[in-house]
Structure 1
């Protein structure tokens, strides 16, 4: 969860993010709101997400506070320790402000999820 929670480092390993700034943190130091700038091909957006962290530190949920191109975003990382490994379950739902045919939206969500998981895995394995 340390890599996921290190938002300022996202632009170092997640190609689509040009900025990620914690704008509000809880008493425990964990981010409660993070502002992102995303550029992925023709898609560019500036948006803020609100985060909720589980007490055991294995789950983080988020939702859109405000965005330019998105109407809503809900997501979750759930970590399951497995010996010396960790299984990551990533859930994401995005609705754009511009209407998009369901098939294209699902393809875009799949591409975003696949890329995010590959980049997260690479970052964790690099240390």
Structure 2
């Protein structure tokens, strides 16, 4: 079973994502911000990270830069999932190492399509 770390400061978003991803046979862990996510990645690197941009403590872009800058042999697929939908944000995310980008609000069809595109389904 593949693992997914859902990183979002919204409990509701984490719950919705968890429900969808568990139905798609993913084992789920959750983090409330980028720093929490880095700690969880150090403990057990997931196969994929579903990542919000705007969070307290450490935002998603800073988390991604730290993650991609780490010397970990295993690098997860990172899918940004955010309300930031302008080209500057999308370009910054891709340049920092994001594999895909999902706009909020999302549903199962969107998650399935994006996860299929990056070879997770």
* TM more than 0.5: no
Higher relative CO (CA 8 A, sep ≥ 6), structure 1 or 2? 2
Q: Which has the larger radius of gyration?
A: 1
What TM-score range do you get, normalising by the shorter chain? 0.3 to 0.5
With normalisation by structure 2, the TM-score equals 0.33
